[in-house]
Structure 1
C-alpha cells in the first residue's frame, strides 16, 4: 500500500487536527482541510515557534471531486454522524481512514459511514489545546501509535520527516486500553472542575487509583496485557504534569459542548457488565458525566 506523497484530507481542524495539519504543511504536504467553520488560517504554537497553515478551511463537501488516499478524522466521537457527507465524498475503496479519537471503539463507530474503506485506529500521545484566539498550543512533541498493519504504512508515508512521530505496535489493544485508562481517570476533572493539579491531593489520588484498578480489570478482560503498576504510573504522570494542564473533556464541559463520556468512561461500565465485572466507581462516575453532557437541567 506504499504511496509516495499520498493525497491527504483532514476533517476537523481542532487541537489535534491543527497539529497534524501543521506538521504536514511544515514539510510541504499541506492536506485538504475540512470543518464546520471557514477559518482563514490555522496556527500551531509551541515552545520556540509557531506554524501557520493558510486557509480557508473548506466547509462544503460538495466541493470534493475525487476520493483521496488518506483521511484523518480529528473530530470528537460525538460528531461522527455530522461528518458523514465529507466521508462519503472523500472515501473510496482504497482510502485509508485514520481515526484520531479517544477510546477503543473507533472502527465500530466509523464503519457505518465509510462504505468499506479500511479504518485505522490511532492513539494520540500529545497534549494540544485551543486558545481563546483560536490558535492551538502544543505542549509536547506530537506522537501517534498505530497498529502494525499494511494500512498504517499509508500514514507513515504521509508523516515521514515531519515533527509528528509515528510508532507501530504489534499489541495495539494493550496500548489503546492504557490510553483509555488515562482518559477515563482524567474525566474526574470534569466532576471537580479542576485541572491536573488536583491529583496532588491524597484523597483524589486514592479515588483515582481505585477507579483505575477497576478500569484495569475490564481492560484485561478485553485482552489488554497491562501490569498492576499501570494505575500508579498514570497517577504519577498527572502529578508530574503542569498544575494547569487540562483535558479535552474538561474543555468541552467549560464550553458547554457534548462530552465524550461514553467512549472514555461509559465503555468501562458497558464492557464490565458484558464480562460480569462489578464497576461500582463507574456506576457513579458515568451517570454524573452523562448528566453533565446531556442534561436535563
Structure 2
C-alpha cells in the first residue's frame, strides 16, 4: 500500500532522538510521518512524569512513499546512514530539507551523497534522551538543537516553532559542533569502562578527561575553530553535574553489542590531528580500543 507523506515532515529513525522530535511535533498538532526498520504502532516519550504517545504506524518500506516531503529529520545513527539511503531517496526531492540529527562534524559529507537534490542541514543535538528496554524513550532534560544560520535552517526552525524543542540559528555553528564533538569524544570513556556519568567524579578519570579534552582542543584550533581555554573544564563540569546514573548513546550501543560511532566521535580527532601534525597520544590509545569494542573479532 502506498503511503502518502501528507504531514510534510518525516522522522527517519525513531530512536531516542527521533522519538523526542516526533513527540515535540505531535504535541502541537504536527504529527510527522514515522519511518524506520521496526514496525511499531506508536512511539512513547516519558518526561518527568509526563507521557507522550505519538501515533504511528512506523513505516518500514521506503517503496511505499509516493512523493517527497518538505522536511526530513534524519535521526538514525551515523553508522546506519548508508542503510537509510533508500529512505532518503524516497523522501527527498529538490524542495526537501534534510536536518541531520547525528553526532559528528562530517554530516554534510556523509549524508548529501544519499539525497543530492535536497538541502542538507547539519545539527547539534543538546538534549539527553535514552531508549528504554520497553521501547519507550526517557527524556532527561530540555530539548534544544543548534543549526547553522542559513535559509534551509529557517525551514527547520519554522517546523519546530512553538514546540518544546528550541532552535538556535548560530553564526558560530562550527565552534558549537566541535564543542559537542569534544563532549561526545569524552563519552567514549564510558563505553570502554561500562560506567555511567558518576565515574567522572573520580580524580583519576577527571584528570584523564581534561588531558583528552586538551588534545581535542588543540586539533579543533588547528582546524580554525575558535574555542576558549575554559572549554575543557566546562565540559568536564557538565559530566560531573549529570546524575550519577546518566548514560550516553555510545554506552547504550556498547551494552547492546551494537556497532559504535567510534570513528566520527573519536577517530576524527586522531585523523585530523595527523593532517595538522599534532600528536594525539590519548586518541592513539582510545581509538583502537573503541574500534575493537565495536568491530573486532573475539
Per the shorter chain, which TM-score range?
over 0.9
CA contact (8 A) 2:7 2:33 kept: no
2:99–2:122 CA contact under 8 A, matched in 1: yes
1:152 corresponds to: 153
Looking at structure 1, the residues matched to 65 and 224 of structure 2 have their Cα atoms a distance apart, in angstroms, of 40
Contact 1:174 1:223 in 2 (8 A): no
Compute the displacement of 1:48 (Å).
3.4
Deviation of residue 53 (structure 1)?
A: 0.5
Conserved 8 A contact 1:6-1:154: no
Quote the Cα distance in structure 2 between the aligned partners of 1:214 and 1:6: 45
CA distance in 1, matches of 2:62, 2:103: 25
Secondary structure, counterpart of 1:264 in structure 2: helix
Match of 2:208 in 1: 207
Distance in 1, matches of 2:209 and 2:146, equals: 25
SS at match of 2:281: coil
Query: Match of 1:93, SS?
Result: coil
1:111 deviates by 1.3
For residues 191 and 75 of structure 1, the distance between their equivalents in structure 2, rounded to whole angstroms, comes to 22
CA-CA distance at 1:186 after TM superposition: 0.9
Quick one: distance in 2 between partners of 1:59 and 1:97?
Answer: 19
Aligned to 1:243: 244
Q: What corresponds to 2:3 in structure 1?
A: none
RMSD: 1.0
Alignment correspondent of 2:222: 221
- Within-5 A mapping of 1:65-214: 65-214=66-215
Contact 2:97 2:119 survives alignment (8 Å): yes
Kindly provide the CA deviation profile for residues 159-189 of structure 1, in whole angstroms up to 9, marking residues without a partner as x.
0000111011001000000000000011101
* Preserved contact between residue 66 and residue 90 of structure 1 (Cα < 8 Å): yes
Instruction: State the SS of the aligned residue for 1:187.
Output: helix
Q: Distance in 2 between matches of 1:48 and 1:255?
A: 26
Name the SS for the 1:283 alignment partner.
helix
SS of the equivalent of 1:126 reads coil
Give the TM-score normalised by the residue count of structure 2: 0.97
Conserved? CA contact 1:43–1:53, under 8 Å: yes
Q: Deviations over 1:136-179 (max 9, x none)?
A: 00000100000000000100111000011101100100000000
CA shift for structure 1 position 264: 0.3
What secondary structure, in the 3-state scheme, does the structure 1 residue paired with 2:108 have?
Answer: helix
Question: Contact 2:145 / 2:166 at 8 angstroms: preserved in 1?
Answer: yes
Once the two structures are TM-superposed, the CA of residue 112 in structure 1 deviates from its matched residue by 1.1
- The answer (yes or no) to whether the contact 2:92–2:117 under 8 Å persists in 1 is no
TM-score (norm 1): 0.97
- Structure 1, residues 62-81: CA drift from partner, whole Å, max 9, x if none? 11001111111000011011
1:11-50 correspondence to structure 2 within 5 Å:
11-50=12-51
State whether residues 7 and 30 of structure 2, in contact with CA within 8 Å, keep that contact through their aligned partners in structure 1: no
Cross-structure match for 1:258: 259
Q: Retained in 1: the 8 A contact 2:102–2:123?
A: yes
